[in-house]
Amino acid sequence: MRVLGIDCGTEYTGFGVVELPSDGKLVCLTCGAIKLSPRQALSARLATIFNRLSVIIEEQHPDEVAIEDVFYAVNAKSAFKLGQVRGVAMLAASSAGLQVAEYSPLSIKSAVVGYGRAEKHQVQHMVARLLNLREIPEPPDAADALAIAICHLHTSATQRRQHSAGG
């Protein structure tokens, strides 16, 4: 299975594509971040996110998409903007016929580090380790997106095992 993880943000939107081949070793296919200019109108920034994610989806052919649930915002205005970015990310995925899974930060950290209250740098180090990368992915939003993809791959594998054992 190949998953596109998206870490939504109003300044940087991270992305990472991770594959879990039959040998069970996670592979990072690509990662990075879409940098947005705060000087641009929000509508232009949203269009940039949609267009860039659409290209990534077209190039990488993920089977599914995973994003982080909104859990905290500095204020209501920030929460609304983040919600709009998440909506555009979901639209890019659904426009390509892909399902979107959403995970809480606690779930993502638990899946990657084994501890839901892990610090950001711990998540980044574990992502690099799990994907056998020489360096921590930069910017941090890219590492977060990879963590979201890893979380989805682990969760999906567990659900498939439980389904086949029970059914």
Catalytic residue among 7, 59, 102, 138: 7
CATH superfamily of domain region 2-166: Ribonuclease H-like superfamily/Ribonuclease H (3.30.420.10)
Q: What is the pLDDT of residues 88-141, one digit of tens each?
A: 999 999 999 999 999 999 999 999 999 988 998 999 999 999 999 999 999 999
Question: pTM of this prediction?
Answer: 0.93
CA distance 127 to 39: 32
Q: Quick check: is 63 catalytic?
A: no
Determine the number of helices (DSSP H) and then strands (DSSP E) in the chain: 5, 5
Catalytic residue among 68, 69, 102, 144: 68
Q: Look-up: residue for tokens 């690099």? A: 128
Q: Quick check: is 69 catalytic?
A: no
Q: What is the pLDDT of residues 38-75, one digit of tens each?
A: 999 999 999 999 999 999 999 999 999 999 987 666 78
Q: Quick check: is 144 catalytic?
A: no
